[in-house]
Chains A and B, each alone.
Chain A
Amino acid sequence: MPVADDDKRKAARETIDILHEISTLLNTNLDRHTLSYCVSLIENGVNPEALANVITDLRAQNERFEAEQAKAAAQ
């Protein structure tokens, strides 16, 4: 039923919007796309705690890479 699908998609979008605002209020620093990937991973059975750890590691690695790049650019 395309109307039902539209309603579902609309509901999903609204849910993501609400979650995004909640994520903003909780200062999680997740943009909408990242949040949607996280929601998808969780819907595929990924552990939210593990996922949080992975995201934290990825952010740390990214900060390291950016620091190295900045240092290389300064030299």
Chain B
Amino acid sequence: MAHAATINQLTDNLVRSIVSSDHDSIPIDQIRENAVKSLRSSSHARTNQFDIHSRLIGLVEKFAVLNRDDLSEALQFRLSLLPVESKWLPEILSLLLHLSERPVEKANVETLDTLPHRIADASSTLAWEELTADAPIDHDGLWDDVERGYHSSGDDATVDEEHDSDATTSTQATSIAEYNVLAQARSFIVPLDDSALEEVKCLREHMSERSGGIAVSELLLVRETLLMLHGLPTSLFVMNNSTGGVTAADGLQLQTSAGTTLRDITMQFAAIGSAINALRLWVRTEQGVAYIQSCQAATQVCLSRFGKQLADLEQRYLSKTADVVVSIVGVRSAVERAAKPLVRLGRIVQTPSPQEPHGLLNGLYDAACASELSGDLTTFTVLLPVFLAGLKTYLRSISCWIMSGTCDTNDETSLVIDRDPACDLGNFWHDRYAMKTFADGQPNVPILLQPRASRIFALGKSQAFLKALKTPPEDDGRDFSTVLPDFDSVVEPIKRTGLRPFAEILEETLSAWLITTAEDSTPALRRALFDSHGLLKSYASLTAIFCSENGRAFQDFAETVFWSMDHAPKAWRNEFLLSELANNTLSASSPTAVDTTLSIRIVEADALALSSIQQLQCLTLETILPWPVQNITRARSPTTYAKAFVLLLQIYRAKSLLRSHFFDLRPSETPRALTIALGLRQRLSTTIEILHAHITTTSSISNKLLLRETQEADDIDAMVAVWSKHDRQLETSLLLSVRPLREAVLTSLELCERFANTWARLVASPPEDDEDNEQDIDSAGPPLESFALLEEEANKQLSFLIAGLRGISRAGGSTALEMLAERLEWIAQ
């Protein structure tokens, strides 16, 4: 009973201590009764003390593992203080373990300080009494000096690995125990000083973020500037890789310079860098034109030289032997001097448009001349090698053209166009090659070669013509493209004296080069034309064939034709027979014409043409000139001579008709008619003879003049001009071009035929061909009137002819026509 009462009492106290009894609504008694019942109803075995001990040890280890060393040490210490003789201690500890609620998270060792009865910790300082309790200090000599020997404390020193402090590089490393390799190795490790990189990291962040101002030193600015000028990426300058453009970074600050000054300098450097980079990009671009490639190579050399100058500038600041003042302004002065020619060169190479194939050469030439004349020898020294490199390459094609007559049709800078590789050989000189020109007619060559472009073109064309004549020029195996002017003679005088302008020296050099390279082509061409291809012989044969040089042969041809006309009026127009006749008579008669082949073409005669004189108009005598001669005469067969031939044939016909009844004198009905007739016949004969003499004499003289002037001509163009003049003069002199006079001559010749017909009627001879007289003009009327009419018409034509000749001779100054007019006036008087 007392035990139960004790338990009741204790339980009541427990309940009241736990449950707040401030309010009456709380059934304390009920709660107590329930608690008592719970406590009494449970029966248990004794708590396993070893289990409790192991749980507590495990709890201590758990605290240590979970990094609660304070809890672990405090708990272990207090467990060690518990009295071991208490038999209820396991149960009490078991109760505490059951009531334990997450001590790792919630327990706090500092809470122990608030407890009224605090247990002293083990870390409390030691007292002498505690120290002397085990080993009392009572022996003598305790405080005497100790002899140091191998018992020195230095030998006993060991490294506490648990504290693991960082070792230094002091000499104490030798005192470390040799067996501890790890510790020994660790002692040699130099700890990193992160603070040394802090400044660099901070600066890099500032530069990358570009927030606010970037404070730079002058040396840094110089270094970055020189790197930028080398074309390298930098932090202070932004470079556009596609265009090479450079801009200075914003917000740069220099301690020794104002912001505007610094910005001005950096912008100037950026401009220079942009120009240099643009030039570098241009050098790397692919160019299809050869001379531009040469300019690129020379420019690359200039850029390399500029890079070396920048390197020399950098070397100043790297040198350790001499003191140097870091000055961005000084760097600017040096860079501007070195970069000025390249900046100028960059502007030149960017200017030309694709439509100007020689724009770069012209630009370089103008710039070189301007810089030399203005005394800017620095720029001139840079521009000159680039210009000469391009000019040399360009002149290769010119040299090849001049010396061999070949051109590269794919070269867009070439002076020459091969218009028609398959053109007729007779038009080779005029149609095969042409000189490129601009829209205004100026030759498409660089400016300095324009005065010589025509000469260059003619020289090359002569060579090409020679090749076509199968007469190759003397070739010693040289590569003609390497025969170039010596430009050393251009540079040296300028370097020596500098008094003569560069343009003048270059002009002289090019002129001398042209004279040297082209002096042999013209004589060879003349020899080929005159000797090998019979130009003069062809000219000489023209009078023999066309102009009755051999009167006998011409007469034979003419009489055969006339016989055919009279006896086979419908069949005489046979080209083959007439050609055969011409070859047998005209061609075979003269040594100059013996190798020529003649042919006669017949055009359809006018149906209304009644007279034989007019029928002869349908004939055209042709001789195919050799193709080299055709290049000069511009025609396969000389047309003027063909017209002269027909006119002579007509004159022969008229003469023949007048002569046919010359001895047929019949008494006329009226003597007057006979007088008129005889007089008219005489005048017509004389007129015809004068005309015949005029034609043959004029053509012969003109031909001789042609031969002489052709021999004096320098080149083919001169020969063409000579032939053209001769052809015009011949046409005028023979009255072939002046239509009214030609008509007057033909009318006069037709009058001869009419007279012959009338005379034939007069002598009462039957007409030789009835068909010819079907449309006789003066078929009506008595002979007297007919002859009177003929005389009147003859006088009229003669007067008209004389007046026309006088007029033409006065206008053209032709003495032959003047003489002809005078001789015809004798008849008219």
Contact = CB atoms under 8 A, between A and B. Distances in A.
B43 A22 contact: no
Interface in B397-442: none
Contacts, number: 159
Given A38-B95, A41-B11, A58-B18, A50 B44 contact: yes
B507 interface: no
Contacts of A26: 59, 75, 96-97, 99-100, 103, 107
Contacts of B39: 41, 46-47, 50-51, 54
Contact of B119 (A21, A31, A48, A69): A21
The dominant DSSP class at the B interface is helix
Interface in B55-71: 59, 71
Interface stretch (B82-90, B139-147, B653-661): B82-90
A28 B96 contact: yes
A48 B103 CA distance: 19
Contacts of B82: 15, 18-19, 22
B500 interface: no
Contacts of A52: 95, 98-99
Interface residues of A, number: 49
The dominant DSSP class at the A interface is helix
Interface stretch (B110-118, B159-167, B532-540): B110-118
Nearest to B42: A50
Interface stretch (B2-10, B172-180, B545-553): B2-10
Contact of A54 (B20, B38, B47, B75): B38
A17 to B, nearest CB: 4
A19 to B, nearest CB: 6
Contacts of B112: 21, 24-25
Interface string B30-45: 0100110011011110
Contact of A42 (B25, B31, B92): B92
Interface in B10-25: 10-11, 13-15, 17-20, 23, 25
Nearest to B26: A65
A74 B93 CA distance: 41
Contact of A18 (B25, B38, B81, B99): B81
A48 B91 contact: yes
Nearest to A37: B14
Contacts of B17: 31, 33-34, 37
Contacts of B18: 34, 55, 58-59, 62
Nearest to A45: B3
Interface in A1-33: 11, 13, 15, 17-33
Contacts of A23: 96, 99
Interface string B609-627: 0000000000000000000
B96 A61 contact: no
B334 interface: no
Contacts of A58: 14-15, 18-19, 31, 35
Interface of B: 3, 6-7, 10-11, 13-15, 17-20, 23, 25-26, 31, 34-35, 38-39, 41-44, 47, 59, 71, 74-75, 78-79, 81-83, 86, 88, 91-103, 106-107, 109, 111-112, 115-119
9 contacts: A15-B82, A21-B78, A21-B112, A24-B111, A27-B101, A29-B101, A41-B10, A47-B39, A57-B34
Given A41-B7, A57-B34, 11 more contacts: A17-B119, A19-B92, A24-B107, A25-B74, A25-B112, A26-B100, A30-B96, A42-B95, A44-B3, A51-B39, A69-B23
